[in-house]
């Protein structure tokens, strides 16, 4: 008897819990919304990623000063995946399952993004990824605020063809997925533009390569054919400094053989004496030197926040700025931090970027961005020499690769990240 | 552009006389206004316009543009420039700027690569008349590169009264490069020019010979092809030399990185995974020394690298001795524990440096005397690489001397050969251990000074070298400094000989496999120690 009553009470309690469960859980999660930050603070990638952690802390701090989101304060949860790819997945799980964060901002390398993907799918959470990458991906749980290849690589090559009359191309990169895919896209694009195969030289080097003598002298030789030559560099972070030093020392000037880089920004140049590099180029969607009121404001806040009047800003920081504000808007629109509702609310969200335009989240989870080409100045900043008149929409699947030409990503109407327009099926290639 | 400049020089006096005249002044104003729109196309037009109107102050303005000293006031659209001494002057007249303009927020006229080329070409024509023979030669080489046919009158004019032999040769070569591509020049003269151009035998000469227009007479084409063939024949020889020299250079970097390890691992037998971090500490010591000298003793700036050598040695040596006293001495004879403990130490040191200096790269300036390169026999060698080759050899021989000719060296050898016997002869073995480990670490610190010139000064610096260092020491033969020298140089040269056809990634893999096979065959390396020392 007692048992039955006990059972009934328990059942009642369960029902009550079901009724008030949502409110109770929200109460339990306290009066804050947790925001996960998944950037390496130690190991090789700390050089780039720890800055983004600080940028996120600043953005969250700003938002809290404005009153938070949905009347609640935001609470940052910082974890350190230590540049260790499997650890990224573990830490992502820790953030979502244990800390119950509403959203995660994080990752830098493509391999770290790939390693956390299954976790975000399984636990259904939201990831904002702020770095320019090779494309060929669109996931329901991920929002890509960095540039896709058509927002960086292709306009950069176009600029060199038009402005510098480049006829011969060196595609130099570090040997991993981003440079290999980007170079594949560029090679296909250049050939389509009528560049002969012998006018394209592709070169890969290991991570952290420091002996560039042979490669720089090869580039010099390649450039002596009488046709204007340029180097398109997808060389990753650390290897850039010795590369540029060797270029400078061997006397390769930007006026002879310009180098356009996709992973060298203000932060990377802070480690180099830039005087011999003046005139070499970089393609990004943001430069610190862009003269807009929004950007001035952002830089001032950043330098105050870091208490360092010389601290530089860079492109992935702007991507986080856009992504974070889009997330805030989407949460307010959805009236909830529930991942499904936020994922549905995000496409179409607009946010002013720092270069004077308004970026928009697209149904393929990429955003519209302007493309800027900058020349290195002797003070380590960039002079913007070209800016696309309109914002360029990010294309998840490149139009220049045979496998991905027919694919389309659309999470609003098609509900699919790799819809094949030929076979009319969701699920990638035929 | 060039012809314009020649005109500018010729007619400068003409417009100067008329500067008060309204027509001349208006044209100059028009030209100058292009600088104030902050658009590259307008700046380019302004540059051309300035040349066309032969503004009396044009050369000064163009020089200022090249040096980033050309400014404008966005409000009044006045163009100004700073002369070499920093005085603010009006672009139009060259008179000192009125005081009210000096206080305004002036903007710099920006240049991009296209403009930089145009300005260079303009400067080239100007410098052909420089009183300095070296500058005249450099200007002639610039013309050789651009092959701008409009420069021909200026070249001919300069050739007529050139006395300096080197400058004369450069001018003649520049003239040949222009004549070669000039359609209306006599055929025989063009063929002769092809030979002159070919004699220069550098990439620019190749470019000149290869880019002849399709309607070039057959004899000229044949001469050019002959020139190309000659250059290419030499190029294959030069290529081999180049790879050997680059290999030596890579080998000397490996030698520097490994030589400290040859003492701690090779002589003492300690598997020191924190060796790379000693190199990193040396590089940071260099950075600190340079910053301090820059801040307090700017007169010594160019010598800061030399001063950093003893500093890096002492700092890294002290850290090494400290590690030996606090960690390693408890683990002698237990290689596995030593490996793990020093691995832990290396992580602690990395993160400590990251916390103190931040994760970003630090800039170590390259002093002027190490910048640039020289071309020997068609191989371009950068000065910093040459310096590193010499420096590595100097460190090697200094260390040999220390181990062979000093009492410390004698004690080190005694302790490593037979610890108990040495102890009973009155040698304080713990002290010698600490000194030896400190010595090895200090030498690694010196390597950090050199590596700060070619690599990132970041907390990860050491990691990139630790594997290579072990490879060199094991390959060369543990316990033998000569083995380290030969091992480093042969790995370097083999790497560079493989790289051109296997690529950097595959080259490294092939080399690793080769070394593994070699170690299988000769486990004690190239120069194996023989006799009782092996057993100890």
Domain residue limits, chain B: 2-115, 128-216, 238-535
Q: Is A373 helix (H, G, I), strand (E, B) or coil?
A: strand
CB pair distance less than 8 Å for A206 and B371: no
Q: A217: which chain B residues are within 8 Å (Cβ-Cβ)?
A: 242, 246, 380
- Contact (Cβ atoms closer than 8 angstroms) between residue A383 and residue A374: yes
Q: What is the mean pLDDT of residues B23-40?
A: 78
Spatial distance between the Cα atoms of B218 and B228, rounded to a whole number of angstroms: 15
Q: B114: which chain A residues are within 8 Å (Cβ-Cβ)?
A: 163-164
Spatial distance between the Cα atoms of B92 and B79, rounded to a whole number of angstroms: 8
Q: Mind listing the pLDDT tens digit for each residue in B371-405?
A: 888 877 767 788 888 999 999 999 999 999 998 99
Q: What is the pLDDT of residue A3?
A: 45
Q: What is the pLDDT of residue B302?
A: 86
**Which single residue is written with the structure tokens 């595959």?**
B506
Q: What is the pLDDT of residue B348?
A: 94
In this predicted structure, the answer to whether residue B23 has a pLDDT above a threshold of 80 is: no
**Which single residue is written with the structure tokens 């400068």?**
B12
**Of A108, A179, A208, A213, which to mutate for an interface test with B (greatest number of B Cβ within 10 Å)?**
A213
Q: What is the mean pLDDT of residues B89-114?
A: 80
CB pair distance less than 8 Å for B380 and A383: no
Residue A224 Cα, gap to closest chain B Cα (Å) = 5
Q: What is the pLDDT of residue B24?
A: 62
pLDDT band at B125 (very low <50, low <70, confident <90, very high): low
CB pair distance less than 8 Å for A375 and B242: no
- A31 in B contact zone (CB under 8 Å): no
Superfamily of domain A31-148+292-369: Response regulator (3.40.50.2300)
Give the CATH architecture of domain B238-535.
Orthogonal Bundle (1.10)
CB pair distance less than 8 Å for B361 and A271: yes
CB pair distance less than 8 Å for B359 and A258: no
CB pair distance less than 8 Å for B68 and A378: yes
Q: Mind listing the pLDDT tens digit for each residue in B260-279?
A: 998 888 778 888 999 999 99
Q: B496: which chain A residues are within 8 Å (Cβ-Cβ)?
A: 213-214
Residue B52 Cα, gap to closest chain A Cα (Å) = 24
Task: State the pTM of this model.
Answer: 0.81
Buried b (16+ CB within 10 A) or exposed e, B236-248: eebeeebbebbbb
- Contact (Cβ atoms closer than 8 angstroms) between residue A164 and residue A228: yes
Handedness of CA A316, A317, A318, A319 (dihedral sign): positive
- A218 in B contact zone (CB under 8 Å): yes
Handedness of CA B507, B510, B513, B515 (dihedral sign): negative
Assigned fold of A153-261? Rossmann fold (3.40.50)
With a CB cutoff of 8 Å and minimum separation 6, the contacts of A284 are A132, A147, A152, A265, A314, A315, A372, A374, A382
Domains in chain A: boundaries:
31-148+292-369, 153-261, 402-430
With a CB cutoff of 8 Å and minimum separation 6, the contacts of A61 are A305
Closest partner residue to B116 among A47, A251, A279, by Cβ?
Answer: A279
Closest partner residue to A273 among B246, B366, B508, by Cβ?
Answer: B366
What is the CB-side half-sphere exposure of residue A406 using CA atoms within 13 A? 13
CB pair distance less than 8 Å for B372 and A249: yes
Spatial distance between the Cα atoms of A262 and A240, rounded to a whole number of angstroms: 11
CB pair distance less than 8 Å for A204 and B365: no
CB pair distance less than 8 Å for A258 and B361: no
**Of A42, A211, A222, A382, which to mutate for an interface test with B (greatest number of B Cβ within 10 Å)?**
A211
| Selected residues 366-385 of chain A with any CB under 8 Å from a CB in chain B | 375, 378, 383, 385
In this predicted structure, the answer to whether residue B124 has a pLDDT above a threshold of 90 is: no
**Of A43, A222, A249, which to mutate for an interface test with B (greatest number of B Cβ within 10 Å)?**
A249
CB atoms within 10 A of CB B25: 17
CB pair distance less than 8 Å for A223 and B203: yes
Which residue positions in chain A have pLDDT lower than 70?
A: 1-30, 271, 428-430
Buried b (16+ CB within 10 A) or exposed e, A338-349: ebeebbebbbeb
Spatial distance between the Cα atoms of B304 and B287, rounded to a whole number of angstroms: 9
Q: What is the mean pLDDT of residues B517-532?
A: 79
Closest partner residue to B373 among A51, A209, A251, by Cβ?
Answer: A251
- Joined together, the tokens standing for residue A33 give 């919304």
Question: Would you list the DSSP string of A251-309?
Answer: T--TTTS-EEESS--HHHHTTS--GGGTT-EEEES--TT---HHHHHHHHHHHHHTT-T
Q: What is the mean pLDDT of residues B196-221?
A: 81
β-sheet with A229-234: strand ranges across: A200-205, A168-174, A229-234, A259-261, A281-284, A372-376, A382-387
For chains A and B, CB pairs below 8 A equal 143
Name the percent of chain B lying above pLDDT 90.
27
Q: Mind listing the pLDDT tens digit for each residue in A253-297?
A: 888 899 999 988 888 887 677 888 888 999 999 999 998 999 999
- A271 in B contact zone (CB under 8 Å): yes
Residue B114 Cα, gap to closest chain A Cα (Å) = 7
The chain-wide mean pLDDT, for chain A, equals 88
Q: A221: which chain B residues are within 8 Å (Cβ-Cβ)?
A: 203
Residue A138 Cα, gap to closest chain B Cα (Å) = 30
Q: Is A398 helix (H, G, I), strand (E, B) or coil?
A: coil
Residue of A nearest to B253 (CA): A211
Q: A273: which chain B residues are within 8 Å (Cβ-Cβ)?
A: 363, 365-366
| pLDDT greater at residue B204 or residue A265 | A265
Q: What is the pLDDT of residue A28?
A: 43
For B294, B298, B306, B314, B492, the CA distances from B303, given in Å and listed in that order, are 11, 10, 5, 18, 29
pLDDT band at B4 (very low <50, low <70, confident <90, very high): very low
Q: What is the pLDDT of residue B323?
A: 94
Q: Please name the residue ranges forming H helices in A147-212.
A: 153-159, 177-192
CB pair distance less than 8 Å for A214 and B373: no
- Joined together, the tokens standing for residue A71 give 């009347």
Asked whether the domain spanning A153-261 has the same topology as the one spanning A31-148+292-369, the reply is yes
Q: Mind listing the pLDDT tens digit for each residue in B343-376?
A: 999 999 999 998 898 877 888 888 888 888 887 7
Spatial distance between the Cα atoms of B1 and B154, rounded to a whole number of angstroms: 12
For A259, B125, B197, the CA distances from B204, given in Å and listed in that order, are 19, 19, 9
Q: Mind listing the pLDDT tens digit for each residue in B404-453?
A: 999 989 998 888 778 888 889 999 988 998 999 999 999 999 999 999 98
Q: Mind listing the pLDDT tens digit for each residue in A232-249?
A: 999 987 788 889 888 888
CB pair distance less than 8 Å for B246 and A47: no
Indicate the Cα dihedral angle B130, B132, B133, B138, nearest 10°: -70
Handedness of CA B316, B317, B318, B322 (dihedral sign): positive
List the Cα angle A273/A279/A284 in 5-degree steps: 90
CB pair distance less than 8 Å for A250 and B117: no
Q: Which residues pair with B380 in a beta bridge?
A: B375
CB pair distance less than 8 Å for B363 and A270: yes
List the Cα angle A332/A316/A60 in 5-degree steps: 40
Q: A224: which chain B residues are within 8 Å (Cβ-Cβ)?
A: 203-204, 206-207
Spatial distance between the Cα atoms of B505 and A179, rounded to a whole number of angstroms: 14
- Contact (Cβ atoms closer than 8 angstroms) between residue B309 and residue B446: yes
What are the strands, taking DSSP E only, across A287-405? Answer: 350-352, 358-360, 368-369, 372-376, 382-387, 392-393
Q: What is the pLDDT of residue B227?
A: 86
Spatial distance between the Cα atoms of B353 and B483, rounded to a whole number of angstroms: 33
**Of A207, A224, A269, A274, which to mutate for an interface test with B (greatest number of B Cβ within 10 Å)?**
A224
- Contact (Cβ atoms closer than 8 angstroms) between residue A35 and residue A56: yes
In this predicted structure, the answer to whether residue B238 has a pLDDT above a threshold of 70 is: yes
In this predicted structure, the answer to whether residue B12 has a pLDDT above a threshold of 90 is: no
Residue B293 Cα, gap to closest chain A Cα (Å) = 17
Task: Tell me phi and psi for residue B350, to 5 degrees.
Answer: -60, -50
CB pair distance less than 8 Å for B372 and A251: yes
What are the strands, taking DSSP E only, across B313-458? Answer: 373-376, 379-382
Q: What is the DSSP letter of A43?
A: S
**Of A50, A159, A173, A226, which to mutate for an interface test with B (greatest number of B Cβ within 10 Å)?**
A226
């Amino acid at each position: 008897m007692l048992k039955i009553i006990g059972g009934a009470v328990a059942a009642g309690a369960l029902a009550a819990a079901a009724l008030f469960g949502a409110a109770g859980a929200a109460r339990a999660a306290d009066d804050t919304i947790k925001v996960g930050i998944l950037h390496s603070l130690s190991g090789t990638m700390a050089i780039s990623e720890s800055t983004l952690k600080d940028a996120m802390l600043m953005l969250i701090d700003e938002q809290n000063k404005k009153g938070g989101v949905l009347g609640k304060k935001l609470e940052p949860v910082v974890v350190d995946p230590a540049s260790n790819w499997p650890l990224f997945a573990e830490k992502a799980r820790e953030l979502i399952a244990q800390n119950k964060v509403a959203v995660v901002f994080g990752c830098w390398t493509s391999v770290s993004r790939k390693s956390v993907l299954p976790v975000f799918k399984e636990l259904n959470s939201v990831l904002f990824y702020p770095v320019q990458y090779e494309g060929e991906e669109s996931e329901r749980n991920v929002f890509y605020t960095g540039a896709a290849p058509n927002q960086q690589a292709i306009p950069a090559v176009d600029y060199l063809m038009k402005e510098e009359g480049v006829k011969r191309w060196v595609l130099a990169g570090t040997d991993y997925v981003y440079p290999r895919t980007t170079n594949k896209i560029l090679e296909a694009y250049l050939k389509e533009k009528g560049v002969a195969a012998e006018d394209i030289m592709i070169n890969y080097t290991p991570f952290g390569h420091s002996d560039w003598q042979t490669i720089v002298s090869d580039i010099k030789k390649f450039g002596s054919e009488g046709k204007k030559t340029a180097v398109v560099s997808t060389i990753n972070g650390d290897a850039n400094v010795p590369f540029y030093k060797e270029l400078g020392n061997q006397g390769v000037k930007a006026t002879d053989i310009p180098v356009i880089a996709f992973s060298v920004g203000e932060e990377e140049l802070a480690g180099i004496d830039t005087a011999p590099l003046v005139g070499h180029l970089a393609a990004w969607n943001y430069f610190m030197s862009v003269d807009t009121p929004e950007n001035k404001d952002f830089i001032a806040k950043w330098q105050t926040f870091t208490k360092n009047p010389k601290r530089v800003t860079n492109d992935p920081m702007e991507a986080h700025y856009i992504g974070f504000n889009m997330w805030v808007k989407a949460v307010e629109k959805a009236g909830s931090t529930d991942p499904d509702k936020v994922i549905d609310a995000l496409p179409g969200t607009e946010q002013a970027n720092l270069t004077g335009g308004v970026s928009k989240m697209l149904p393929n989870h990429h955003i519209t961005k302007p493309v800027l080409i900058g020349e290195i100045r002797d003070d380590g900043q960039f002079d913007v020499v070209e800016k696309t008149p309109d914002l360029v929409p990010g294309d998840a699947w490149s139009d220049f690769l045979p496998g991905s030409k027919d694919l389309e990503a659309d999470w609003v109407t098609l509900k699919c990240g790799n819809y094949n327009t030929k076979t009319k099926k969701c699920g990638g290639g035929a | 552009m060039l012809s314009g400049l020649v005109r500018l020089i010729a007619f400068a006096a003409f417009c100067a006389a008329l500067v008060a005249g309204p027509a001349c002044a208006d044209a100059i104003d028009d030209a100058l206004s292009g600088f104030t729109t902050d658009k590259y196309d307008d700046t380019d037009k302004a540059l051309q316009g300035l040349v066309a109107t032969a503004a009396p102050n044009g050369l000064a303005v163009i020089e200022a543009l090249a040096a980033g000293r050309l400014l404008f006031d966005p409000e009044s659209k006045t163009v100004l420039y700073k002369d070499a001494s920093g005085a603010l002057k009006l672009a139009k007249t060259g008179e000192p700027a009125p005081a009210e303009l000096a206080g305004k927020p002036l903007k710099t006229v920006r240049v991009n690569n296209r403009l930089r080329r145009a300005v260079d070409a303009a400067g080239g024509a100007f410098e052909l008349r420089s009183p300095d023979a070296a500058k005249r030669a450099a200007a002639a080489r610039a013309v050789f590169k651009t092959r701008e046919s409009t420069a021909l009158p200026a070249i001919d004019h300069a050739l007529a009264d050139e006395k300096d032999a080197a400058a004369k040769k450069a001018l003649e070569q520049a003239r040949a490069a222009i004549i070669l591509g000039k359609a209306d020049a006599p055929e025989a003269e063009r063929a002769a020019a092809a030979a002159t151009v070919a004699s220069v035998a550098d990439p620019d000469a190749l470019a000149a010979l290869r880019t002849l227009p399709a309607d070039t007479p057959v004899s000229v084409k044949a001469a050019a092809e002959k020139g190309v063939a000659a250059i290419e024949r030499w190029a294959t020889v030069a290529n081999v030399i180049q790879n050997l020299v680059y290999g030596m250079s890579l080998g000397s970097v490996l030698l520097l990185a490994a030589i400290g390890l040859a003492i701690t691992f090779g002589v003492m037998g300690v598997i020191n995974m924190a060796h790379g971090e000693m190199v990193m500490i040396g590089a940071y010591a260099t950075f600190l020394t340079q910053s301090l000298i820059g801040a307090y003793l700017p007169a010594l700036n160019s010598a800061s690298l030399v001063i950093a050598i003893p500093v890096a040695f002492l700092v890294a040596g002290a850290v090494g001795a400290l590690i030996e006293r606090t960690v390693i001495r408890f683990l002698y004879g237990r290689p596995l524990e030593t490996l793990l403990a020093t691995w832990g130490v290396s992580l602690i040191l990395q993160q400590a440096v990251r916390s103190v200096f931040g994760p970003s790269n630090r800039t170590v300036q390259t002093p002027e005397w190490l910048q640039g390169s020289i071309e020997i026999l068609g191989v371009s060698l950068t000065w910093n690489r040459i310096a590193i080759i010499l420096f590595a050899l100097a460190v090697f021989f200094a260390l040999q001397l220390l181990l062979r000719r000093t009492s410390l060296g004698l004690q080190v050898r005694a302790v490593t050969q037979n610890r108990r016997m040495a102890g009973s002869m009155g040698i304080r073995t713990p002290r010698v251990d600490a000194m030896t480990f400190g010595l090895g670490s200090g030498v690694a610190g010196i390597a950090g000074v050199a590596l700060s010139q070619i690599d990132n000064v970041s907390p990860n610096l050491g990691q990139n070298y630790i594997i290579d260092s072990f490879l060199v020491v094991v390959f060369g033969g543990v316990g033998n400094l000569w083995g380290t020298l030969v091992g480093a140089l042969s790995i370097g040269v083999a790497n560079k000989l493989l790289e051109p056809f296997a690529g950097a990634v595959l080259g490294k893999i092939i080399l690793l496999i080769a070394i593994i096979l070699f170690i299988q065959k000769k486990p004690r390396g190239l120069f194996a120690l023989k006799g009782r020392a092996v057993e100890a």
